[in-house]
């Protein structure tokens, strides 16, 4: 690699080039851009790079060596010396960015769920975390996926140099269309499917296309807070709509857009009844509005009857069905998609082409298409739903036996987490979270998903935990409550677990 120095700037300050080079390297060492132990270029290379004589380059190194900035190692080269005291320097004054209205709205929005996730990163060794809801890679059919990647690259990697249009690889769009027709009853056509780098990229782009500043968009309360922030950043006005045990409660909202997760409400897991689904479609028809159907993890269903998506019931082109493979596959696979009404497809593709003239992750897209077409994806889903169903039942049994006075788990027949209502006082909930952390067990605080104040709740992810860890984690929750009782905080439970 070439050594990048502001050589021309120093040439303007110093009469001789060897002095300019000396000061440029010395400043780079002082600033920390050249840390101790860094190997510097040979004098021949340095001379060629900056258009000076080799003697001038050698003279610069001699001066740096005399002052202890660099050392020469026989047969190895010149290195930045160790133990150099770098003087404290005030940070340079930065210009205040003149952001657009969109930029100002974006930076002013608080991302509470991201803050919560950061607090859960790198927990102490031995911690049992219900805060994480993901597919453990040891459960993933990596050999099948690697085979699909090899196929997607082509013989000798010849397919790696070819791209895909902004809407995504055609073979993946065909595979998604076939999968949705068979498993969800959605009459999807490849030309009306657009691939995104995760479902949220598609949802926010739809906000930009469908909302003018000041337009109202209905969002679920509680609901995924990224939806709320996306509407606000676009300049729209989020209109929180209450969610009960059956999901979103339909009313005649004065709004242009609705975002809903009917097959498995986030975060409560409620399933929207058919009559409410029809009511939402009637609302969209009356208001000439669009509905974004967020189907984030309902494919992982181990119980209950198949759910009819809103998109399946839509006969007027009012519903945009958004799905993701980041939950059903693995978190690092950032592939989402939208099934669009024909009238919206051109606008979405044009907007997508501004961000991605060539669709990113084409190798993964083609591999996923192969994985679906070969039946590997279907087999993977069947294995995972059986496994996650068993883990959920383990969690429910353990909670009922040992922590039933603390949490009431909501009904759940799909997904990677379950929502739980806190049964004690709000003040005790916050104290309990800290006591649980001290006992080495984490869970997700669900209050970050609420727009309006309400009773505390928690999300317990179970997909990544084996039976023994689930049971041990629940016993730690019970012990945390017992710790609070010992410290003078009364509660309903009397036993202690260690």
Arithmetic mean of pLDDT, 260-286: 96
- Tens of pLDDT, residue by residue over 378-399, are 999 999 999 999 999 999 999 9
Q: How high is the pLDDT of residue 95?
A: 79
Residues 223 and 278 in one domain: yes
Distance from C-alpha of 221 to C-alpha of 497, rounded to nearest angstrom: 36
Q: Which two tokens stand for residue 307?
A: 């759910």
Q: How high is the pLDDT of residue 79?
A: 95
Starting from the edge strand earliest in sequence, which strands make up the sheet with 216-221, in order? Answer: 193-196, 336-339, 319-324, 290-295, 257-260, 216-221, 237-244, 247-248
Q: What integer best gives the mean pLDDT of the chain?
A: 91
Q: Among 315, 347, 374, identify where a domain stops.
A: 374
Angle, vertex CA 395, rays to CA 394 and CA 398, nearest 5: 85
Q: How high is the pLDDT of residue 32?
A: 85
| Residue pair 395/468 in contact by the 8 Å Cβ criterion | no
Residues 250 and 215 in one domain: yes
Would you give the DSSP letter of residue 294? E
Indicate whether 456 pLDDT > 50.
yes
Q: How high is the pLDDT of residue 90?
A: 72
Residue at 190 is within a domain:
yes
Q: What is the CATH number of the domain that holds 268?
A: 3.40.640.10
Residue at 86 is within a domain:
no
Distance from C-alpha of 322 to C-alpha of 336, rounded to nearest angstrom: 7
Residues 157 and 292 in one domain: yes
Residues 206 and 279 in one domain: yes
CA distances from 160 to 110, 325, 363 (A): 40, 22, 7
Q: How high is the pLDDT of residue 135?
A: 81
Distance from C-alpha of 163 to C-alpha of 169, rounded to nearest angstrom: 8
| Residue pair 151/158 in contact by the 8 Å Cβ criterion | no
Indicate whether 123 pLDDT > 90.
no
Residues 415, 420, 426, 430: is their CA dihedral positive or negative? negative
Q: How high is the pLDDT of residue 490?
A: 44
Q: Which two tokens stand for residue 112?
A: 């509470």
Q: Which candidate, 381, 349, 350, places its Cα nearest to that of 184?
A: 381
Residue at 320 is within a domain:
yes
Q: How high is the pLDDT of residue 492?
A: 41
Arithmetic mean of pLDDT, 435-461: 94
Arithmetic mean of pLDDT, 337-343: 97
Residue at 2 is within a domain:
no
Task: Give yes or no for a cis peptide into 267 (omega within 30° of 0).
Answer: yes
> Looking at the 3D structure of the chain, how many domains does it have?
3
- Tens of pLDDT, residue by residue over 63-77, are 999 999 999 998 889
Q: Which candidate, 192, 474, 134, 451, places its Cα nearest to that of 311?
A: 192
Distance from C-alpha of 401 to C-alpha of 471, rounded to nearest angstrom: 10
Distance from C-alpha of 443 to C-alpha of 395, rounded to nearest angstrom: 13
Position with higher pLDDT, 31 vs 350: 350
Indicate whether 48 pLDDT > 90.
yes
Residues 204 and 330 in one domain: yes
HSE-CB of 35 using CA atoms within 13 angstroms: 0
Beta bridge partners of 457: 421
Arithmetic mean of pLDDT, 89-111: 83
Q: What is the CATH number of the domain that holds 463?
A: 3.90.1150.10
Residues 440 and 359 in one domain: no
- Tens of pLDDT, residue by residue over 191-243, are 999 999 999 999 999 999 999 999 999 999 999 999 999 999 999 999 999 99
Residues 453 and 391 in one domain: yes
Residues 317 and 439 in one domain: no
Indicate whether 370 pLDDT > 60.
yes
Residues 168 and 266 in one domain: yes
Helix locations, 248-320, DSSP H? 274-287, 310-313
Q: Among 39, 63, 80, identify where a domain stops.
A: 80
Q: How high is the pLDDT of residue 494?
A: 40
Q: How high is the pLDDT of residue 351?
A: 97
Q: Which two tokens stand for residue 7?
A: 């050589």
Residues 54 and 35 in one domain: yes
Position with higher pLDDT, 331 vs 92: 331
- pLDDT category at 493 given cuts 50, 70, 90 is very low
Task: Give yes or no for a cis peptide into 222 (omega within 30° of 0).
Answer: yes
Q: What is the CATH number of the domain that holds 59?
A: 1.10.10.10
Helix (H, G, I), strand (E, B) or coil at 120: helix
Given the structure tokens 């000798």, which residue do they identify? Answer: 156
Residues 32 and 160 in one domain: no
Residue at 242 is within a domain:
yes
Residue at 96 is within a domain:
no
Q: How high is the pLDDT of residue 497?
A: 34
Q: How high is the pLDDT of residue 335?
A: 96
- Tens of pLDDT, residue by residue over 394-417, are 999 999 999 999 999 999 999 999
- Residues whose CB is less than 8 angstroms from the CB of residue 267 and which lie 6 or more positions away in sequence, other chains included: 222, 223, 224, 417, 419, 446, 449, 459
Question: Which residue range is the domain that position 461 belongs to?
Answer: 112-134+379-486
Helix (H, G, I), strand (E, B) or coil at 289: coil
Residues 184 and 241 in one domain: yes
Indicate whether 88 pLDDT > 80.
no
Q: Which candidate, 247, 363, 367, places its Cα nearest to that of 307?
A: 247
| Residue pair 239/216 in contact by the 8 Å Cβ criterion | yes
CB count within 10 Å of CB 337 equals 26
- Tens of pLDDT, residue by residue over 142-162, are 999 999 999 998 877 777 778
């Amino acid at each position: 690699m070439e050594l990048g120095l502001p050589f021309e700037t120093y040439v303007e300050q110093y009469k001789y080039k060897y002095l300019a080079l000396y000061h440029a390297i010395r400043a780079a060492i002082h600033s920390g851009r050249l840390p101790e132990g860094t190997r510097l270029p040979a004098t021949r290379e340095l001379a060629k790079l900056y258009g000076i004589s080799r003697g001038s380059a050698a003279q610069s190194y001699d001066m740096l060596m005399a002052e202890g900035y660099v050392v020469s190692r026989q047969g190895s080269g010149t290195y930045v010396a160790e133990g150099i005291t770098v003087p404290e320097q005030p940070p340079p004054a930065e210009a205040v960015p003149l952001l657009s209205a969109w930029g100002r709205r974006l930076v002013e929005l608080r991302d509470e769920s991201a803050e919560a996730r950061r607090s859960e990163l790198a927990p102490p060794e031995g911690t049992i975390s219900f805060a994480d809801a993901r597919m453990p890679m040891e459960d993933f059919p990596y050999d099948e996926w690697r085979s699909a990647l090899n196929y997607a690259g082509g013989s000798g990697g010849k397919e790696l140099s070819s791209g895909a249009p902004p809407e995504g690889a055609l073979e993946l769009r065909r595979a998604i269309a076939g999968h949705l027709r068979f498993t969800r009853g959605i009459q999807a056509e490849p030309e009306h499917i657009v691939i995104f780098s995760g479902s949220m990229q598609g949802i926010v782009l739809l906000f930009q296309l469908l909302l003018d500043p000041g337009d109202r968009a209905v969002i679920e309360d509680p609901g995924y807070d990224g939806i709320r922030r996306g509407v606000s950043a676009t300049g729209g006005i989020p209109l929180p709509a209450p969610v009960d045990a059956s999901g979103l409660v339909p009313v005649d909202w004065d709004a242009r857009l609705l975002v809903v997760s009917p097959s498995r409400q986030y975060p409560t897991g409620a399933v929207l009844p058919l009559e409410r689904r029809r009511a939402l479609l009637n609302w969209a028809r009356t208001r000439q509005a669009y509905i974004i159907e967020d189907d984030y993890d309902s494919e992982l269903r181990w119980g209950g009857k198949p759910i009819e998506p809103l998109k399946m019931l839509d006969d007027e082109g009012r519903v945009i069905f958004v799905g993701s493979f980041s939950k059903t596959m693995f978190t690092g696979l950032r592939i989402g998609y939208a099934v669009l009404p024909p009238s919206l497809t051109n606008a979405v593709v044009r907007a997508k082409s501004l961000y991605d003239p060539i669709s990113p992750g084409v190798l993964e897209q083609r591999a996923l298409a192969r994985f679906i077409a070969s039946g590997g994806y279907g087999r993977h889903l069947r294995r995972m739903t059986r496994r996650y169903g068993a883990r959920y039942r383990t969690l429910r049994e353990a909670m009922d036996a040992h922590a039933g006075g603390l949490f009431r788990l909501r009904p759940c027949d799909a997904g990677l987490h379950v929502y739980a209502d806190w049964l004690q006082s709000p003040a005790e909930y916050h104290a309990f979270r800290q006591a649980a952390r001290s006992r080495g067990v984490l869970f997700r605080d669900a209050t970050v998903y609420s727009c309006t104040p309400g009773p505390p709740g928690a999300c317990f992810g179970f997909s990544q935990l084996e039976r023994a860890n689930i049971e041990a984690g629940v016993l730690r929750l019970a012990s945390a409550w017992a710790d609070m009782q010992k410290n003078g905080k009364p509660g309903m439970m009397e036993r202690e677990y260690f």
